[in-house]
């Protein structure tokens, strides 16, 4: 099978490429990535010379280049990870989110329509269901009710995917993952941000009272879920991919766990003004994917421990990132408030 992975140089995409090459010795992967601030070829250093792997630098919004890739590469499938992904950045400036997450999705759908492909998966998020405080668990058929410019742009992309399925019968699927954590996550997201801050002796900025609930899935489990959907999912269907943490975990509990695993005390926690429009709880029903035989393998305690250790052992990876553009963003987000 030859898979076009778009956005494969980011956090989940790079873990997915590694997962697929390891599990399927005869698969080939073309990684197509714009290398925005979040794209990093260092995430794939260990496999860059693998003959089954090829990298192409490009933008999913670039119609000409996408058409060229589809006509030259003889692809069987597409898995799209390419997106602007950070809620806080979408609140500062949403234009790039609308472009990549909606127009870029449309551009990929047009290429599928024109060139044909066996199947395609568009990676989406539980955030499209909006705030689930007091509401149980979102099913795939539940209403989309996005709260942030990020989740609205992802929801726009999802609607476009489903419209192209219904209108043109394209063989497309959507996965909606919960909050991922693990190796190679850009250190603007809460877990790597907090771990790396603590290693550097800096405080960790927690929004509001820290009572927001997220469902934390270890990235390798998310990749396993996408793999199952790719091989067993049905065209036109949406699949939630979540860990269903039990008990649910608040950001404060998450923060205290990280502080403890980093050998620090709670005086390192700093309270900052809450994010505007901040959703209080995300929770999804994952039965549909579990019915295909998938189950998450890594529980939160084990996963968070492995994750903290990875950042402790890979300072070279994140120290390079935590400079330049990253510092500009960090100042805007946390220091000028």
Quick one: 169 or 319, whose CB is closer to ligand NAD?
Answer: 319
Contact region with ligand NAD (CB under 6 A), list: 179-187, 192-200, 255-263, 272-280: 179-187
Q: Considering the rule CB under 6 A, would residue 91 count as an interface residue with ligand NAD?
A: no
Q: Considering the rule CB under 6 A, would residue 239 count as an interface residue with ligand NAD?
A: no
Q: Considering the rule CB under 6 A, would residue 130 count as an interface residue with ligand NAD?
A: no
User: Would you call 126 a catalytic residue per the annotation?
Assistant: yes
Beta-carbon contacts of residue 78 (< 8 Å; ≥ 6 apart): 3, 4, 5, 6, 108, 112, 117, 119, 120, 121
Task: Give the distance between the most distant pair of CA atoms in the chain.
Answer: 58
Asked if 32 and 69 touch (Cβ cutoff 8 Å), the reply is: yes
Q: Considering the rule CB under 6 A, would residue 259 count as an interface residue with ligand NAD?
A: no
Element housing 119 (H / E): strand 119-125
User: Smallest gap, in angstroms, from Cβ of residue 252 to ligand NAD?
Assistant: 19
* Marked catalytic residue, from 106, 129, 132, 150: 150
Q: Mask 15-54, x = binds ligand NAD (CB under 6 A)?
A: ------------------xxxx-xx---------------
User: Would you call 150 a catalytic residue per the annotation?
Assistant: yes
Q: Considering the rule CB under 6 A, would residue 129 count as an interface residue with ligand NAD?
A: no
Measured CA to CA in angstroms, residue 130 lies from 243, 268, 337 at distances of 18, 31, 26
CA distance 146 to 279: 9
Beta-carbon contacts of residue 169 (< 8 Å; ≥ 6 apart): none
Contact region with ligand NAD (CB under 6 A), list: 2-10, 108-116, 165-173, 276-284: 2-10
Q: Mask 292-321, x = binds ligand NAD (CB under 6 A)?
A: ------------------------------
Quick one: 48 or 266, whose CB is closer to ligand NAD?
Answer: 48
* Marked catalytic residue, from 127, 142, 188, 220: 127
* Marked catalytic residue, from 33, 59, 126, 227: 126
Quick one: 185 or 197, whose CB is closer to ligand NAD?
Answer: 185
CA distance 122 to 283: 20
**Vertex 113 angle, CA 112 and 118, to 5°:** 50
Quick one: 180 or 257, whose CB is closer to ligand NAD?
Answer: 180
Helix axes 63-73, 105-115, angle to 10 degrees: 40
Instruction: Provide the 8-state DSSP code for 281.
Output: B
Beta-carbon contacts of residue 67 (< 8 Å; ≥ 6 apart): 111, 114, 115
Measured distance between the N- and C-terminal CA atoms of the chain, rounded to whole angstroms: 50
Contact region with ligand NAD (CB under 6 A), list: 58-66, 87-95, 105-113, 309-317: 58-66
User: Smallest gap, in angstroms, from Cβ of residue 263 to ligand NAD?
Assistant: 26
Task: Please give the positions annotated as active site.
Answer: 126-127, 150
Binding site for ligand NAD (CB under 6 A): 6-7, 9-13, 33-36, 38-39, 59-61, 81-85, 100, 104, 123, 125, 154, 177, 179-180, 186
């Amino acid at each position: 099978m030859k898979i076009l992975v778009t956005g494969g140089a980011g956090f989940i995409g790079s873990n997915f490429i590694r997962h697929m090459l390891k599990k399927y010795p005869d698969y080939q992967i073309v990684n197509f990535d714009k290398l925005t601030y979040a794209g990093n070829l260092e995430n794939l250093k260990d496999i860059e010379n693998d003959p089954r792997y090829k990298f192409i630098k490009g933008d999913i919004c670039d119609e000409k280049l996408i058409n060229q890739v589809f006509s030259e590469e003889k692809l069987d499938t597409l898995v799209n990870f390419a997106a602007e992904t950070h809620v806080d950045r979408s609140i500062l400036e949403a234009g790039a989110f609308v472009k990549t997450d909606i127009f870029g999705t449309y551009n990929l759908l047009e290429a599928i329509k024109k060139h044909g492909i066996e199947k395609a998966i568009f990676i989406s998020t539980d955030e499209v269901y909006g705030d689930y405080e007091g509401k149980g668990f979102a099913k795939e058929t539940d209403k989309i009710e996005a709260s942030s410019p990020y989740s609205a742009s992802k929801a726009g992309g999802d609607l476009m995917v489903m419209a192209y399925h219904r209108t043109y019968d394209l063989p497309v699927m959507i996965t909606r993952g919960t909050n991922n954590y693990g190796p190679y996550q850009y250190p603007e997201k809460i877990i790597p941000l907090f771990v790396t801050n603590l290693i550097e002796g800096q405080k960790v900025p927690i929004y509001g009272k820290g009572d927001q609930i997220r469902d934390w899935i270890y990235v390798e489990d998310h990749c396993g879920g996408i793999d199952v959907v790719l091989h067993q999912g049905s065209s036109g269907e949406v699949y939630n991919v979540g860990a269903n943490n039990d008990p649910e975990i608040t950001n404060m509990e998450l923060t205290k766990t990280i502080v403890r695993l980093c050998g620090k005390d709670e005086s390192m926690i700093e309270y900052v003004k809450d994010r505007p429009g901040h959703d209080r709880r995300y929770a999804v029903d994952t039965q549909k994917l579990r019915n295909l035989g998938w189950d998450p393998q890594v529980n939160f305690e084990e996963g968070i421990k492995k994750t903290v250790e990875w950042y402790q052992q890979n300072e070279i990876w994140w120290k390079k990132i935590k400079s330049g553009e990253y510092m500009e963003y960090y100042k805007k987000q946390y220091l000028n408030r």
